[in-house]
């Protein structure tokens, strides 16, 4: 090494960036995380990692998601590199952890690390050729590496015995590294024995049984010969257990299921009993075997229904897997090219059933195609390709005591260990909603405000209003009232910090929405979302992904802050509402402030007046047309002073007859 299942249109991301001041002088003060190296550590051990980025000096805390890992700051003087000691408990769960750095200037974006089960070493310098390959003295081992330059190829050499089955498991994408890894296994003469590469959304795993004892090398590079300090990876090498597939993929809450395991180096362990949690939707586990911990953890999912597993072969109506009763969750996998899985059901009662595939949403590669057929397999009763992403859903009225066949296949006929699914057959889900929030962290200047957006996905006809509240706010920070109006997709609200709150004051927040469904209040927690740029894509192809540690942190007072003379204004249709905006300027800040407004209801037109140079006030007028909706809705006023964007506390416009 030379050291050195959510899509969003870019226009929306750019608009949010402009509204929230991303890229302006205030944002430039906030700490940022570019990479963490080594990217994690071993369960039960202590690891010292370097968090690299910007504005990291004076860090007061490092936040980590999950339990069992403690972070201790070692030296906070360097703005570009922050050494952190990780104490990883013996019972810590393996897998992904999120990392954020807190300073008096705010909280950083999310970095990622990976917790594993094997001893770790760091990649050595000058290991770019087979002649200078780094020798792996002890096997098994996990190597922490970086593909730093465009031509960087990292080589590692090791000894293997005849008959050994080695696993070369690379973690990169799973901790959001941009590396698209390519693995190549060669013998002592440089002859290629095997190679493995995956798409950008997958990590490669190479499994190889050696015929002869000898010296071999494994090489790591980017498939497109890209590189950088954030192109980090963890490569585990050795005859370690690897689970290549497993069924079922979950079970009923509170029950114990025996998970059938397939893979290599598993010894006599062909199944594993797992207690399905009663209070969670999923869990991540890594079975321990005589030869060690499974190199990669597996995910199991919880439901409230009985569960069953497909019985192969079930490709024809005569072979269809019989299902004892519905509702049920069925677990299956596409085992061979063009595989078709058929299930025979016989509903006891008439009614409407929902048939829903969970594939891509739980990490599967399959592009599912779902059909519900008559008992003879001929007459098509219902079919679907993409209902939620690449996952299928069919809703069908069924007759009591009548047999049906449910057919699952992949649209492209692909198959393999990563083409698994859960098929839920149940009465259609009632009305519901899901929430997301952007940005995923808020940094608020003293006496200033930061704006957030909560977006609702409405399910099965739910159209009611959703009230929004924030929990976990630090002392001295308040949230404006917010409601997603009936039928609307989103709302904006603000967090405001009092003038005297100490910079660096931080809280881990939860944004919660409450709607009324069937005369009962239903609460849903918003998933925090960050925007990122996939490798080799254009700006308009930016995407979004969930994060785990949403925060609100107080920053020092910014160059200016905006305040309003009222929090809510009531106005009749056909009339006008006015709001006075005041700029609280730091000494010496005299430039003009251009004002804009966002979030106003349809047919409400703002007449904007800027705050002139050396002035502190302006009045905005909102003309409410006679056909404007009867609604209460937040409006966000933002200012731009020499590319420094700040927002005022949200105010609510209440339109009445």
Q: What is the DSSP string of 251-305?
A: EETT-EEEEEEEEES-TT--EEEEEPPSS-SEEEE--EETTEE-SS-EEEEEESS
SS3 state at 539: helix
Domain 120-238: CATH architecture, name and number where available: Sandwich (2.60)
Q: Which helix (H) or strand (E) holds 38?
A: none
Give the per-residue pLDDT at 150. Answer: 77
CA distances from 246 to 39, 254, 298, 301, 422 (A): 28, 20, 9, 13, 12
Instruction: Quote the pLDDT of residue 202.
Output: 87
CA distance 83 to 531: 27
Model pLDDT for residues 173-217, shown as the tens digit of each residue: 999 999 999 999 999 999 999 999 987 778 999 999 999 999 999
Residue whose C-alpha is closest to residue 448's, from 361, 562, 583, 580: 562
Cross-strand bridge partners of residue 157:
135, 217
Q: How many residues does the chain have?
A: 657
Strands 192-197 and 181-187, bridge-based pairing: antiparallel
Which residues of the chain fall short of a pLDDT of 50?
1-25
Q: Where in the chain are the domains?
A: 120-238, 243-303, 307-426
Shared fold status for 120-238 and 307-426: yes
Q: Who's near 196: CB < 8 A, 6+ residues apart?
A: 168, 182, 183, 204, 205, 206
Q: Output the pLDDT for position 619.
A: 96
* Omega cis (within 30) before 454: no
**Residue 596 β-bridge partners:** 638
The candidate with the shortest Cα–Cα distance to 530, out of 84, 1, 22, is 22
DSSP assignment of 558-624, as one string?
-SEEEEES-SEEEEETTSEEEEEEEEEEPTT----BEEEEE-PPTTEEEE---B-TT--EEEEEEEE
* CATH of 307-426 among 2.60.200.20, 2.60.120.380, 2.40.50.140, 3.40.50.300: 2.60.120.380
In this predicted structure, what is the pLDDT of residue 27?
A: 57
- The most distant pair of C-alpha atoms in the chain lies apart, rounded to whole Å, by 87
Nearest to 451 by CA among 17, 1, 8, 14: 17
* Token output for 437: 């929030």
pLDDT at 21: 36
Q: Per-residue pLDDT tens for 448-465?
A: 999 999 999 999 899 999
Place of tokens 């059933």: 353
HEC string of 462-480? Answer: CCCCEEEEEECCCCCEEEC
Angle at 243 between CA 239 and CA 244, to 5 degrees: 110
CA distance 432 to 372: 25
pLDDT at res. 17? 39
What is the tens place of the pLDDT at every residue in 359-394?
Answer: 999 989 899 999 999 998 887 778 999 998 899 999
- The pLDDT value recorded for residue 14 is 37
Structure tokens given for 148: 């730093």
Contact 451, 20 (CB under 8 A): yes
Q: What is the 3-state secondary structure (H, E, C) of 185-204?
A: EEECCCCEEEEEECCCCCCC
- Residue 178 CB partners (closer than 8 Å, separation 6+): 226, 228, 230, 231, 535
CA 287 → CA 117, 279, 493, distances in Å? 11, 21, 45
């Amino acid at each position: 090494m030379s050291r050195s299942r959510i899509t969003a249109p870019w226009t929306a991301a750019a608009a949010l960036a402009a509204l929230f001041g991303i890229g302006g002088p205030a944002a430039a003060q906030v700490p940022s995380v570019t990479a963490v190296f080594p990217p994690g550590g071993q369960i039960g051990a202590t690891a010292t990692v370097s968090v690299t980025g910007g504005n990291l000096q004076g860090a007061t805390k490092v936040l980590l998601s999950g339990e069992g890992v403690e972070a201790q700051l070692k030296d906070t003087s360097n703005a570009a590199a922050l050494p952190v000691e990780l104490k990883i408990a013996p019972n810590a769960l393996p897998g992904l952890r999120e990392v954020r750095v807190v300073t008096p200037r705010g909280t950083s974006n999310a970095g990622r690390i990976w917790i594993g089960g094997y001893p770790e070493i760091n990649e050595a310098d000058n290991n770019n050729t087979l002649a200078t390959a780094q020798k792996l003295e002890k096997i098994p081992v996990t190597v922490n590496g970086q593909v730093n330059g465009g031509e960087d190829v990292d080589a590692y050499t090791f000894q293997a015995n005849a008959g050994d089955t080695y696993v070369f498991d690379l973690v990169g994408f799973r901790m959001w590294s941009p590396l698209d890894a390519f693995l190549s296994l060669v013998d002592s003469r440089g002859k290629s024995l095997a190679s493995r590469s995956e798409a950008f959304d997958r990590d490669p795993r190479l499994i190889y049984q050696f015929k002869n004892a000898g010296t071999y090398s494994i090489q790591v590079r980017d498939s497109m010969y890209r590189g950088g300090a954030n192109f980090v990876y963890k490569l585990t090498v050795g005859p370690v257990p690897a689970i290549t597939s497993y069924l079922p993929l979950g079970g009923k809450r509170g029950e114990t299921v025996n998970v059938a395991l397939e893979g290599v180096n598993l010894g006599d362990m062909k199944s594993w009993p797992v207690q399905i949690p009663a209070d969670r939707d999923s869990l991540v586990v890594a079975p321990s075997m005589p030869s060690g911990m499974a190199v990669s953890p597996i995910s199991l999912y919880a439901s409230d229904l009985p569960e069953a597993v497909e019985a192969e072969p079930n490709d024809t109506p005569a072979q269809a897997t019989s299902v004892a009763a519905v509702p049920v969750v069925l677990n299956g996998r596409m085992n061979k090219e063009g595989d078709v899985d058929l299930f025979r059901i016989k509903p006891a009662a008439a009614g409407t059933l929902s048939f829903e595939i969970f594939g891509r949403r739980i990490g599967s590669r399959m592009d599912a195609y779902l059909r519900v057929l008559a008992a003879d397999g001929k007459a098509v009763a219902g079919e679907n390709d993409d209902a939620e992403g690449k996952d299928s859903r069919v809703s069908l009225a069924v007759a009591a005591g009548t047999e049906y066949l449910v057919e699952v296949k992949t649209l492209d006929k692909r198959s393999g260990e990563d083409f698994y699914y859960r098929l839920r057959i149940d009465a259609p889900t009632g009305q519901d909603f899901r929430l997301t929030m952007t940005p995923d962290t808020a940094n608020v200047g003293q006496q200033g405000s930061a704006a957030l957006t909560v977006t609702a996905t409405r399910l099965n006809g739910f159209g009611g209003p959703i009230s929004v509240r924030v929990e976990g706010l630090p002392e001295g920070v308040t949230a404006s009232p917010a409601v997603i109006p009936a039928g609307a997709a989103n709302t904006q609200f603000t967090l405001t910090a009092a003038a005297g709150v100490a910079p660096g004051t931080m809280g881990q927040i939860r944004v919660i929405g409450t709607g009324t469904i069937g005369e009962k209040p239903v609460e849903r927690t918003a998933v925090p979302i960050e925007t990122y740029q996939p490798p080799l894509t254009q700006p308009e192809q930016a995407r979004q992904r969930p994060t785990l540690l949403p925060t609100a942190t107080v920053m020092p007072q910014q160059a200016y802050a905006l305040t309003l003379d009222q929090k809510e204004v009531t106005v009749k249709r056909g009339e006008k509402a006015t709001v006075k905006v005041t700029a609280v300027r730091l000494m010496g800040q005299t430039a003009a402030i251009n004002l804009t407004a966002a979030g106003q209801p349809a047919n409400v037109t703002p007449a904007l007046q800027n705050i002139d140079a050396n002035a502190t006030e302006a009045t905005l007028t909102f003309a409410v047309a006679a056909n404007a909706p009867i609604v209460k809705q937040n409006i966000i006023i933002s200012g731009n002073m020499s590319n420094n964007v700040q927002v005022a506390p949200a105010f609510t416009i209440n339109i009445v007859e």
